[in-house]
Chain A
């Protein structure tokens, strides 16, 4: 079945540091890939997505590139802010899995001033 593996957290950074959160997946079909973010006390919301190989999703300074050859979708940001502190979830939607979104366990990011 489908699965998503994320690096364990928490990831603790100083403001303006570079961020990478690794995500790899397994899927029976050709999935779409997503990053969701959950701020404290709020629901999950979409951060960015990519629907085919080599697509780059981007939003709010975050980027991730769909790498089919390595089955990866790593999240990056060049300069994090305190307001980026949240939990980040990698997810996929696979035609082989009825397009039901499948999530990783989440990676907590803590950014210090």
Chain B
């Protein structure tokens, strides 16, 4: 397994457009997380899945954000009607279900809204 992969690595979009990011976790991992990271800050939790079920969403996640993990494997994060404040690095991570294990991160998708 090559680890967590994210696509695209970079995305530039115009304000008001919709964007979709993809995350492929480590294959045997049940948990999948989405985080957002801005310059000088740590990762901020957005949402997570246990298999295909979305179990928790942060209050940071506005109605314009939606995430899916349809078959419990890859996940997508969509942002509708992007705003300049959405510019950030979007990180995906996965982990096994066992509770004392670390999360494994992808390299992230850097979104720039112009």
Taking Cβ atoms with an 8 Å cutoff, the residues of A that contact B are: 4, 32, 34, 36, 42-46, 49, 51, 89, 91, 93, 95, 98-106
Contact = CB atoms under 8 A, between A and B. Distances in A.
A83 B48 CA distance: 33
B42 A95 contact: no
A99 B31 CA distance: 10
Interface of B: 4, 33, 35, 40-45, 48, 55-56, 91, 93, 99-100, 102-108
Nearest to A106: B42
Contacts of A32: 99-100
B24 to A, nearest CB: 13
Contacts, number: 56
Contacts of B99: 32, 93, 95, 99
Contact of B107 (A34, A42, A46, A49): A42
Nearest to A45: B105
A89 B42 contact: yes
Contacts of B55: 98
Contacts of A46: 102, 104
B95 to A, nearest CB: 8
Contacts of A44: 43, 91, 93, 105
A98 B93 contact: no
Nearest to A105: B42
Nearest to A99: B99
